[in-house]
Amino acid sequence: MAEYSAFSLLKNALAGNKDWKPAWRKPDPKASYDVIVIGGGGHGLSTAYYLAKEHGITNVAVLEKGWLGSGNVGRNTTAVRSNYLLPQNTRFYEHSMKLWENLSHDLNYNVMFSQRGCLNLAHTPAQLDDYARRGNAMRHLGVDAELMSVDQIKRLVPALDVSGSARFPVLGGLMQPRAGTARHDAVAWGYARGADRRGVDIIENCEVTGFLRDGGRITGVSTTRGEIRAKKVALAVAGSTGHVMQLAGISHMPIESHVLQAFVSESLKPIVDTVLTFGMGHFYISQSDKGGLVYGGDLDGYNSYAQRGSLPIVDEVMSEMLALFPGLARVRMLRSWGGLCDMTMDGSPIVTTGPLPGMYLNCGWCYGGFKATPASGWCFAYTIAKDEPHEFNAPFTLDRFYRGLIIDDKGQGANPRLH
């Protein structure tokens, strides 16, 4: 497999870039594995990588129904942060942040992680007080957080309208300096390459069509490429969780699938040198290395498995962007896409054993799936290998809804689309 370094880059450039080796193999599925991971997105690939790297479990297959990275890992706005209020979420996402900070070196693959900060704008005194509360909670757990004044925000983002005549006046903001962005495709490719190098089979165009059982225990899967048996079967299929769980005979889950749209503008000179979020609506924006503005907003309000959204959300997102940046009114949007968000009843994920013997479940990431990728795979691999959760994912059980141990960071109640 390919090795990446400054020397190899120069060598292949002089050779016309004709001698690069494949980043990962294209194996046929074997009859059986120790672990099958369903889902070849960021969470499935990182799980396989950490199973091999941290636990020495290399007889692993990752099954992807399409091409690698065709799901949510390539359909997001690339933001990475750990600025949560509740300690269960803060500890988990801060662990993910620490993994992000060394990820390119760990994978020997540049995931283009840029720690440019994440700034949450406050537009009312009450909202600024709430951000101070969240910032103090973060700092109490060792996470970086700073309250910013209007003057500091103006210096950081000169294009932002912070005037007194703005539609939604800016009163300050909460900044996490270590937050930022990463290249989503590179994350998928880096984990795939790293897992492959450790012996994991990544099998594309292999859709799971059913589950094999021995009594009540899951012992493998039926796929479009034949039956494959395994001692353990792990699900990491994001918005398709409900559909795949139905194949296992489980028809009710505490999640809903919704479409989340994202947008990219034409390339511009640098104007947004951070990840910025709007406090009077649901809008977030950053700028890519190529100059395009990458932005998004609310979910489409209906349940769907489609990877495309509706025009009312497009109109809403553009209106929110212009409320913050009136100068962008004539900028052209290049493209948009949709990803399937698996929204839980409390806005926090599910990373656990079960609900059937031999099965392991990773789902419910709501808006937070991409930034959670390293910690999700790290904790899920631990859970699979040890048959018990790590302390970072121990709160994220499936039965917490039944037991009343909800983790509602936003305080929105049992309405999945509001999280």
At 293-304, the pLDDT tens digits run 999 999 998 888
My answer on whether 34 and 103 are in the same domain is yes
Single-letter amino acid code for the residue at 113: F
pTM metric for this prediction: 0.95
Count Cα atoms within 13 angstroms, Cβ side, for 255: 33
pLDDT in tens, 302-344: 888 888 888 999 999 999 999 999 999 999 999 999 999 999 9
Is position 3 within any domain?
no
In this structure, is residue 1 part of a structural domain?
A: no
| Of 304, 327, 344, the domain-final residue | 344
Assigned token pair, 213: 């059982």
Domain endpoint, select from 344, 366, 400:
344
One-letter amino acid at 88 equals Q
Output the pLDDT for position 1: 56
Q: How far is CA 6 from CA 3, 14, 109, 185, 189, in A?
A: 10, 12, 12, 21, 19
Is 4 within a domain?
A: no
- Residue 148 and residue 41 share a domain: no
How many folded domains does the chain comprise? 2
Is 13 part of a structural domain of the chain?
no
Pair 138, 168 in one domain: yes
Co-location of 192 and 328 in the same domain: no
Select from 313, 328, 344 the last residue of a domain. 344
- Contact yes or no for 233/359 (Cβ under 8 A): yes
| 20 belongs to a structural domain | no
Other Cβ atoms closer than 10 A to 413: 12
**Structure token pair of residue 38:** 């369903």
Position 41 in a domain: yes
> Which residue(s) pair with 222 in the sheet?
210, 227
Measured distance CA(359)–CA(248) in Å, rounded: 10
Q: By residue range, what is the domain housing residue 74?
A: 25-82+85-107+184-254+346-418
Please check whether residue 230 is in contact with residue 214, taking contact to mean a CB–CB distance below 8 angstroms.
no
The residues, ordered by sequence, that sit 6+ positions from 93 with a Cβ below 8 Å of its Cβ are 81, 82, 84, 368, 371, 372, 375
Q: Which residue has the tokens 């400054």?
A: 6
Q: Return the beta strands (E) in 253-353 as ranges.
A: 255-267, 275-277, 284-287, 292-303, 333-344, 350-353
Residues of the chain with pLDDT under 70: 1-2
Of 323, 32, 296, residue with least CA distance to 162: 323
What is the DSSP annotation of 74-97? GSS--EE----SSHHHHHHHHHHH
Report phi then psi at 167, rounded to 5: -60, -40
Q: What is the CATH number of the domain that holds 200?
A: 3.50.50.60
pLDDT at 368: 86
The tokens describing 354, both together, are 């079960």
Q: Is 4 left (phi over 0), alpha (psi -120 to 50) or beta?
A: beta
Contact 342, 365 (CB under 8 A): yes
Helix 87-101, helix 125-140: angle, nearest 10: 70
Pairwise CA distance, residues 236 & 169, whole Å: 41
299 and 278 in a common domain: yes
Let me know whether 267 and 318 are in one domain: yes
Q: Identify whether 19 is part of a domain.
A: no
Residues 262 and 149 in one domain: yes
Q: Are residues 262 and 175 in the same domain?
A: yes
Are 175 and 261 part of one and the same domain? Answer: yes
Q: Are residues 238 and 370 in the same domain?
A: yes
377/337 same-domain check: no
Name the helix (H) or strand (E) containing 159: none
Please check whether residues 266 and 402 belong to one and the same domain: no
CB atoms < 10 A from the CB of 23, how many?
Answer: 17
Distance CA 37, CA 40 (A): 8
The H or E element containing residue 48 is: helix 42-55
Rg (CA), the chain: 21
- Give the CATH number for residue 124: 3.30.9.10
Q: Does the residue 204 lie in any domain?
A: yes
Tell me the one-letter amino acid at 202: I
